[in-house]
Structure 1
Amino acid sequence: MTAPVAKAAARQGPPACDVSDAAIAARTDSYFNRTRAIVSRFGDCRVTYAVFMRRPVISAPRLAVEWLERVAAARGTRFEIELMHEEGRWVGAGDPIFYLTGPLAQLADLETIYLQKLGPPCVAAHNAYQMCLELPQVAFLAMEARHCAGFEMQEMMEYAAAVGSAAARREGAKGFVGSASDATAHYFGGTRGRGTMPHALIGYAGSTVRAAEMFHETFPDEDLTVLTDYFGREVTDGLAVCRRFPHLAAAGRLAVRLDTHGGRFLETLDPAESYAVLERHAPQVIRRYRSETELRYLVGTGVSAAAVWRMREALDEAGFPRVRIVASSGFGVAKCRVMAEARAPIDVVGTGSFLPEAWSETYATADIVEYDGTPRVKVGREFLLRRNGARRRGGIGAAEAGD
């Protein structure tokens, strides 16, 4: 390790899994550390925090709760967690997700970190839930890892996708069926990440067909999903792969992945032809007012509804009705909704767009609402005061559906 790299590594601080007092002190806001020192000097008291979000979300508290339990064990104490909304349930803005009770001297310095572990997963779970409901017959793959700020964020996001997906499945959606990496596959009931090839492999192979051959020779028992946009010949190269592997195509073990970037149209399309494709398959979707963004999703460049329909036409006309279409590139809630309205024949969506777009929406908040059993909260937050009937911790791991 070179000297600059070694210095950078030293500045990174303790690993996220470290729950020692020193590690927590290094990662939390300094005023919480000072509060802990003051309370320890002048006398501890038993407090209850209300922990909540400022926007509607899907409850995804497991990572925060499990972290709190690890800290309590390390400190030789016990925290009481009254979970008000089980994992996977819808939560309104300002409605406490859980109440957290324990000694103030043991809780004061934890707020920064457990809020980090609560807010982003709740918002991402809500996004994933909405996406799955918009396209209930489509399977989703979590492919956000490269857009995350390290593995800790990746784990939060994929846990969130699993929670939101489970909520949507209860309402009849297929939901998320896997992730791109082995480390988080367990959230989706698997042991391995899913995926076949990046654009780099096609560049290395020199042709789309050759890349498919290399993959199949190396992993003959795996299903084959082939990117088709590298050379700008989505239709031509997609059909060429189907003809090269007719047995996989006939068995439903072959898929083409559309990932055309927003700077060009799918092969054979332009604005006029894109409208013509939708006139053939979903005319109602383009006959009402559309925003500029919606029009781009329908007939614009990149992976549009017209592009998906054109690929389906080409596959069916060439005798490959069982070849599936995987779509990726910008599939957030709004794009999923437009694709549903166009009845786009998508089999699988690969997406990282359940990541919160407005990060300020992920900010979880905590306020103390009781000191030694006496209700007390800052003015304006009286709605957080604990009501009768709060539930003891339960439901973590159940991943139940939203209300």
Structure 2
Amino acid sequence: MPGEPPVEATDGAITARTDAYFNRTRAIVQRFGDCRVTYAVFLRRPVVSAPRLMLDWLKSVAAARGTQFEIELMHPEGTWVGAGDPILYITGSFIELSDLETLYLQKLGPPCVAAHNAYQMCLELPEVGFLAMDARHCAGFEMQNMMAYAASVGGAAAKREGAKGFIGNATDATAHWFGASHGYGTMPHALIGYAGSTLRAAEMFHEAYPDEPLTVLVDYFGREVTDGIAVCQRFPELAAAGRLAVRLDTHGGRFLEGLDPAESYAVLERHAPGAIRRYRSETELRHLVGTGVSAAAIWRMREELDKAGFPKVRIVASSGFGVGKCRVMAEARAPIDVVGTGSFIPDSWSETYATADIVAYDGVPRVKLGREFLLRRNGERKKNGGHG
């Protein structure tokens, strides 16, 4: 009904979803008397601040409970935060705050780490546009929304430093984080299997969506170059107008058409010899000259498209483009136009654990031994105003 709080902000939902000891703490404080407390909220690793989901939820809870929380945001959205540095302080009634910690930490830690990953990826490839393709890797819509928000924050931070950043995402429900009304994408492997050929899948898509740019997945039959050029020849107007792209998603079990280890080295020797002449880890070498979507594969595709007379056809690359792979691609100057990735999702979920500690009771500083670094320093001021 209008005016009612969202379900997750109601006392029933909070009680069911929070840790039992917080519920018991609330009951004890209700019995023995309330006090005004201040929490410091932080992560143990460097991150990019992405607090909006947490702040919006706290605002909903405060409204539902008829109270106010004073929030001092020390690091505005999209700014870098050092390990252990409080992102924000929350002050309010201990009764009304004591059972919220579990839930607001869930909404803060993961997006902060994912935003940091997205930020780093975009800075490694500043001339490349990124598409957030995280949805299929998420554990339900709440995580999907969290990761899309994080990519938008990290991408926006990179844009402020001159990178193209994230230009969109794959789902309609989270497109608003990128200032769009809908998600982007053309075809999965399933459509090509249904059509029977890469070319026929491209024809079907163009007939169904004649006004849309066409991005064709070209690895289904292992003929990335042959099928990619066939599609270009079928749609020369789109190719000449820059409205046609080939998407490379070759899996790690084989090389792109026409490549093997020797030819992969030869391709990079022509275009980025410095990238293969210094020490490389096994993972870096795989990104450069190995199977799957390597730097050599991308350069090979660019060579063949240009040779066939299609210099304006773009290359979209996907498959494991995390921070490390983006860095290697930058060193190889790989001619990528767009990266589709969900690899900003944190690899180690334990790194996403945010923590909160009370640092003052009724205005008196007090924190458990070893967490004195969370106490406000004399003269410290909030960096971005209140949010209550």
What TM-score, normalized by structure 2, do the two folds share?
0.97
Structure-2 residue corresponding to 1:294: 284
Structure-2 residue corresponding to 1:185: 175
Structure-2 residue corresponding to 1:272: 262
Structure-1 residue corresponding to 2:207: 217
Give, in whole Å, the separation in 2 of the partners of 1:354 and 1:275: 29
Structure-2 residue corresponding to 1:337: 327
**1:318–1:160 Cα change, 3 Å:** same
Instruction: Give the C-alpha shift of residue 386 in structure 1.
Output: 1.6
Instruction: Please give the per-residue CA displacement for 1:173-195, whole angstroms capped at 9, x wherever unaligned.
Output: 00000010011111111100000
Q: Does 1:318 align with 2:308?
A: yes
Secondary structure of the 1:368 match is strand
Structure-1 residue corresponding to 2:42: 52
**1:16–1:233 Cα change, 3 Å:** farther
Structure-1 residue corresponding to 2:373: 383
What amino acid is aligned across from residue 144 of structure 1 in structure 2?
D
Give, in whole Å, the separation in 2 of the partners of 1:213 and 1:82: 55
What amino acid is aligned across from residue 329 of structure 1 in structure 2?
S
Give, in whole Å, the separation in 1 of the partners of 2:53 and 2:146: 8
What amino acid is aligned across from residue 219 of structure 1 in structure 2?
Y
Structure-1 residue corresponding to 2:151: 161
Give, in whole Å, the separation in 2 of the partners of 1:395 and 1:345: 45
* Cα pair 1:95 1:384 within 8 Å, conserved: yes
1:34-73 paired onto structure 2 within 5 Å: 34-73=24-63
Runs of 4+ in 1 over 3 A off after TM superposition: 392-396
Q: 1:372 aligns with which of 341, 346, 362?
A: 362
1:77-226 paired onto structure 2 within 5 Å: 77-226=67-216
Instruction: Please give the per-residue CA displacement for 1:106-165, whole angstroms capped at 9, x wherever unaligned.
Output: 000000000000000000000000000000000000001000000100111110001111
Give, in whole Å, the separation in 2 of the partners of 1:312 and 1:319: 11
Instruction: Give the C-alpha shift of residue 17 in structure 1.
Output: 4.8
Give, in whole Å, the separation in 1 of the partners of 2:213 and 2:13: 44
Secondary structure of the 1:74 match is helix
What amino acid is aligned across from residue 128 of structure 1 in structure 2?
A
Identity of aligned residues (%): 81
Give, in whole Å, the separation in 2 of the partners of 1:100 and 1:133: 32
Secondary structure of the 1:183 match is coil
What amino acid is aligned across from residue 381 of structure 2 in structure 1?
A
Q: 2:9 aligns with which of 19, 28, 43?
A: 19
Q: 1:230 aligns with which of 195, 213, 220?
A: 220
* Cα pair 2:70 2:386 within 8 Å, conserved: no
What amino acid is aligned across from residue 308 of structure 1 in structure 2?
I
* Cα pair 2:42 2:88 within 8 Å, conserved: yes
Give, in whole Å, the separation in 1 of the partners of 2:168 and 2:134: 12
Give, in whole Å, the separation in 1 of the partners of 2:331 and 2:204: 38
Secondary structure of the 1:301 match is coil
Instruction: Please give the per-residue CA displacement for 1:197-240, whole angstroms capped at 9, x wherever unaligned.
Output: 00000000000000000000000000000000000000000000
Instruction: Please give the per-residue CA displacement for 1:19-39, whole angstroms capped at 9, x wherever unaligned.
Output: 110100011011000000000
Instruction: Please give the per-residue CA displacement for 1:75-105, whole angstroms capped at 9, x wherever unaligned.
Output: 0000000000000110000000000000000
Instruction: Give the C-alpha shift of residue 390 in structure 1.
Output: 2.6
Instruction: Give the C-alpha shift of residue 394 in structure 1.
Output: 4.0
* Cα pair 1:81 1:392 within 8 Å, conserved: no
Greater alpha carbon shift after TM alignment, 227-236 vs 382-391: 382-391
Query: What count of residue pairs does the alignment treat as equivalent?
Result: 382
Instruction: Give the C-alpha shift of residue 269 in structure 1.
Output: 0.3
* Cα pair 2:72 2:386 within 8 Å, conserved: no
Greater alpha carbon shift after TM alignment, 16-25 vs 75-84: 16-25
Structure-1 residue corresponding to 2:244: 254
Please report the RMSD computed on the Cα atoms of aligned residues, expressed in angstroms. Answer: 1.2
Give, in whole Å, the separation in 1 of the partners of 2:150 and 2:383: 22
Give, in whole Å, the separation in 1 of the partners of 2:6 and 2:348: 24
**1:16–1:256 Cα change, 3 Å:** farther
* Cα pair 1:44 1:103 within 8 Å, conserved: yes
What amino acid is aligned across from residue 306 of structure 2 in structure 1?
D
Secondary structure of the 2:45 match is coil
Secondary structure of the 1:141 match is strand
**1:92–1:346 Cα change, 3 Å:** same
Give, in whole Å, the separation in 2 of the partners of 1:291 and 1:374: 52
Instruction: Give the C-alpha shift of residue 395 in structure 1.
Output: 9.2
Structure-2 residue corresponding to 1:3: none
Give, in whole Å, the separation in 1 of the partners of 2:29 and 2:376: 23
Give, in whole Å, the separation in 1 of the partners of 2:383 and 2:311: 52
